[in-house]
Amino acid sequence: MTGYEMFRPMVAHAVLVFGLYALLGWRRHVLVKAGRIQPVQFRENHAANEPAESLAVRNSLANQFELPLLFHVCCVLLYTTQADNLPSVILAWIFVATRYAHAFVHVTSNDLRYRSPLFALGFVALVGMWVWLGIWLAFS
């Protein structure tokens, strides 16, 4: 390992966030052009009655700043404590892959039958990362 593998999943997650921002902007632009919503409704970020097409993206974007916060902190801690080995990097990639899949479901069908297990798998991967960090700190 070169020592920077832990940052690649972090960058991949950032790309997802930027992509969701772009999708939100595009969907809102389409909705405004179609006359389904007024731009003024977004000024104070209180888009009452926001159409489902953009609301789903907005909610998915908000999700990227909840559990992933713990992911980014853990990645940095794993790196700084030199606990970033192959299993922790694999867990990080699993977490990011589930975030992509979760976001895809969220902004398309929004079907909880698919979204919930994806969230759970990512959650378990992240817990595994934190457990590994705790073990590393306890025994090093």
Q: Could you tell me the residue range of the domain that residue 90 belongs to?
A: 6-139
128 to each of 72, 87, 114, how far by Cα in Å? 14, 9, 22
Per the CB < 8 A criterion, the answer to whether 10 and 75 are in contact is: yes
Q: Which residue has the tokens 């609301």?
A: 55
**From 3-7, 37-41, 68-72, the region with the lowest mean pLDDT:** 37-41
CATH code at position 52: 1.20.120
* In the predicted structure, residue 45 carries a pLDDT above the cut 90: no
Number of domains into which the chain is organized: 1
Q: Per the domain annotation, does 35 fall within a domain?
A: yes
* In the predicted structure, residue 48 carries a pLDDT above the cut 70: no
Mean pLDDT within 62-78: 97
Banded pLDDT at 131 (limits 50, 70, 90): very high
Q: Per the domain annotation, does 1 fall within a domain?
A: no
Q: Per the domain annotation, does 78 fall within a domain?
A: yes
Banded pLDDT at 49 (limits 50, 70, 90): confident
Q: Per the domain annotation, does 77 fall within a domain?
A: yes
Mean pLDDT within 86-107: 98
Q: Per the domain annotation, does 19 fall within a domain?
A: yes
Banded pLDDT at 43 (limits 50, 70, 90): confident
